[in-house]
Chain A
């Protein structure tokens, strides 16, 4: 493929549209982790939780579309997303039990959750799927009347599926929840100063459980959106580091949902570039060719780059990663 083709308008629109789609699973995961970390729990298990949400979502959609919901495959997708959310909550419960109740080292818990989630999902997938020819019915694209006719911007922003529109709403909801509601204030106060929060009658343990479980639910949902809506398939190790990228993007976002949108978009664009170009193996620029492996590296290089330029942890919740021991004296 020639570099001029890459820069053509139709390719650009396709690239950005796909980029936005691919940023959605990561964005949902980042939002979940912002909630969890705001309460002071550092859940590093995202990669594994996304994998579990992804496999549960995929298997649910696959079985429903081939079975009882054969006539309404669209509905099956929404059930699958709910299943992914619930599976994520289950993983969150394990994480909360380890880190809040048992006060285990959160880094160690997180890494273990990753390895558990990834291996379990690979195992479940191998166990449940006997055929290789599997694919899912994809979601209907809704065109917003009039707006989708705007050149360039129209097809990118106003010709998307329902999940896209719902996730935009979700960003606002999470922001409103964390910064404008009483429950959100409680979560943040537990992350900033658990002793003071406990004195004012907030249960630190309960709040941290809630934040971890809801956050992991969103992470599971992110995994399910990736496999069910975005890719329409599951493969071993399909999350391919997106969970870890999400951990990095939480730092980049400085624990603010609206900043997460920017981070996820940048990542999604890099991701879509490598997906688009992978198919044609290389891009030529004059006489030079860029091997596709270098394009595959983009998202990972970008994650390091993003942290190079935005590495302040002063906005982090003050007690992030520290277990809370009530009545230390």
Chain B
């Protein structure tokens, strides 16, 4: 180890020392995104395409006009809901990686209500479906919470294993008991019109999307101005101190997992009643895992999560268009997303280390 400069010297030479976390985020996030996009350009070059032209196509096809922006918002809806939910868990440092499974079970519950509740009027059926999705997702979040509180089981591992199990349950039901009557493919019947999310404002923007957008300020309020938000943060920053201060740490873990499960489950219901309309083995574009990156990159701040989910949705739509236009693999968007998050983390940790 080299000799460290004395503390006074370090403080004087350090430009970041007095910067607040918000200012740090304003430096690290844009520069990290830029770095990530540059690394992504390397991947595009490896594939033999022109990176600048590619990024232009990606931008114009995702954010280049009103219709494109609406499509991007629709794509961002499940990511936003999952990201908002996971933010609650991550604030409490409960590493819930199980949004994918919670999403699948939510989709299953929502689909069941939508399929067999068609006798109900639409204004009753749709809220009922959303509630079913909330319940399904939170039940799947309840399991790891119980395992954690009763057995001290690592939440990352239990939530991950439950992802695989949830997907297989849906796969089994779609192939077996719930299979489309008279159908050959391993999938259920389509939801009827009455069980689909109504579209709003004369555009393709649907009710689910509007709910997700309205939840942003609500969740922000919960995080910043309620005792619950404070408790989550306290448990996250130091569980021992939180316990000493009289907080019920287990209750916080419990609430965090139920909250993220509920929102992921609702995302599942919304997607099943808009994009997919039927259960099959694949009803998610890696939403659960990308939601993890979104919550992290959005700094568990609901407004940050909103921006990040729109950014990720735009990348996904952009790459889908690149795939059609010049045949690049669709997995490029996942790779760029991970590179962006990695770059932001590098820049951010570097600045924080310098500042400490």
Contact = CB atoms under 8 A, between A and B. Distances in A.
A307 interface: yes
B320 to A, nearest CB: 14
Nearest to B161: A300
B280 interface: no
A155 B175 CA distance: 37
A279 B2 CA distance: 61
Nearest to B150: A308
B353 A294 contact: no
Interface string A235-275: 01000110010011001000000000000000000000000
Contacts of B15: none
B248 interface: no
Interface in B300-350: 329, 331-332, 334-335, 337-339, 341-342, 345-346, 348-350
Interface stretch (B52-60, B69-77, B166-174, B201-209): B166-174
A162 interface: no
Most A C-beta atoms less than 10 A away, residue of B43, B164, B289: B164
Interface in B34-52: 43, 46-47
A327 B289 contact: no
A304 B161 contact: yes
B349 A103 contact: yes
Contact of A297 (B43, B95, B164, B334): B164
B331 A107 contact: no
**SS class of chain B's interface: helix, strand, loop or mixed?**
helix
Nearest to A111: B292
Interface string A109-122: 10110011011101
Nearest to A101: B353
Interface string B149-163: 001111011101110
Contacts of B64: none
A236 B165 contact: no
Contact of A120 (B47, B151, B335): B335
Contacts of A326: 1
A102 interface: yes
Interface in A11-32: none
A116 B164 contact: no
B349 A102 contact: yes
Most A C-beta atoms less than 10 A away, residue of B175, B296, B342, B348: B342
B176 interface: yes
Interface of B: 1, 4, 43, 46-47, 93, 95, 97, 147, 151-154, 156-158, 160-162, 164-165, 168-169, 171-172, 175-176, 289-290, 292-293, 296, 329, 331-332, 334-335, 337-339, 341-342, 345-346, 348-350, 353
28 contacts: A98-B342, A102-B345, A104-B348, A107-B93, A109-B345, A112-B296, A115-B293, A115-B334, A119-B338, A120-B338, A122-B329, A123-B332, A123-B335, A126-B331, A203-B1, A241-B161, A247-B156, A248-B157, A251-B157, A291-B172, A294-B172, A300-B161, A301-B165, A304-B157, A304-B161, A307-B153, A308-B151, A327-B4
